[in-house]
Amino acid sequence: MAALLALLIVVLFIALIVGLINPSRIVRWSKKPTRWKVFLWWLLATIVVFVLIGIVVPKPTPQEIITSAEANIEKGHYESAIDDLKRISQSDSLYSVAQLLMVRADSLCEIAKIEKENALKIAKEEKKKREEENKEENEKTKKEKPSKWKYVEEIDKMDNTKKITASLESDNSIKFDFPYGNSDFTLYIRTWQGSTDVFLTGSNCQFIAGVMGENTYRVKFDDETPINVSANHSTSGGAMIVFLGSEQKIISKLKTAEKLIIEAEFYEAGYEQITFSTKGLKWE
């Protein structure tokens, strides 16, 4: 019977849709069928069907309510169990059983709420802790930028001497007129055969330098006052490499400085400034 009434509700809903589209197909008995009349008849019929459902559909027995409540408690649906158990009247023989189950469900419900609140609190604290750790890590990463220095250690196969080189590419490049074009620069520190050299190379340029220290370049570390150091060509005569004097002083400054500017002189271009990010040099 309950299934039949449910089917009737579906049929009434279909009739409502059809009637709203074409009222005359549903309220045939009316001389002036309208959508409003269709809706009123549908509402009246629906109310009647729901009243019949309330009469026809049997109410669950107290034992069925107890069984259903126990199942809800096992599933953690404590509030649903409490609502079901409230339907058992005081005059029923299973009322005391229902009250005990209700107390149990209520206690479990409170415990579940406390556990949920604690879990949310712990999750919030863990999230805050992770955010603080990420913030600290980000700040640490910002402060401790990775060094751009590159190191190479080689053994000379002829005399077994060790050659150690540290190199650093420039932050900027310089564009020269034809025929040179764009040039990148690299700063080198090299220890080999008992001597230490500091020299600068360009990929596509021609340095102006001396031979016996008669030419000087200005170099500046961080915000310190610039100093003059000698600038000499290599003994091989290459114009794209220049050796800087005051090597130990330069290396000592590079160990603590974060920025270096070298003002070098170029053929037919005059003086140009080359910038290096020097933080993180490790040199013994």
213 contacts 245 by C-beta, under 8 angstroms: yes
Greater model confidence, 249 or 37:
249
- 242-258 confidence digits (pLDDT tens): 999 999 999 999 999 99
Tell me how far apart the alpha carbons of residues 155 and 151 are, in angstroms, rounded to a whole number: 14
Greater model confidence, 111 or 52:
111
| 13 pLDDT above the threshold of 90 | no
Amino acid letter for position 136:
E
Average pLDDT value over all residues in the chain: 88
Q: What is the domain partition of the chain in residue ranges? A: 150-277
Percent of the chain with pLDDT over 70: 96
Predicted confidence at residue 27, as pLDDT, reads 78
- 193-230 confidence digits (pLDDT tens): 889 999 999 999 999 998 887 899 999 999 999 999 99
CA-based max dimension of the chain:
122
Predicted confidence at residue 136, as pLDDT, reads 83
Predicted confidence at residue 141, as pLDDT, reads 63
Tell me how far apart the alpha carbons of residues 112 and 114 are, in angstroms, rounded to a whole number: 5
Greater model confidence, 141 or 179:
179
Domain 150-277 - what CATH class? Answer: mainly beta
What's the rounded mean pLDDT across residues 85-108?
88
What's the rounded mean pLDDT across residues 111-126?
90
The pLDDT-based confidence of 53 (bands split at 50, 70, 90) is confident
| 55 pLDDT above the threshold of 80 | no
Predicted confidence at residue 237, as pLDDT, reads 65
217: nearest Cα among 225, 268, 226 = 226
The overall pTM is greater than 0.85:
no
| 144 pLDDT above the threshold of 70 | no
DSSP secondary structure, 47-98, as one string: HHHHHHHHHHSPPPPHHHHHHHHHHHHHHT-HHHHHHHHTTS-TTSTTHHHH
Question: Within 10 A of 73 (CB to CB), how many other CB atoms are there?
Answer: 19
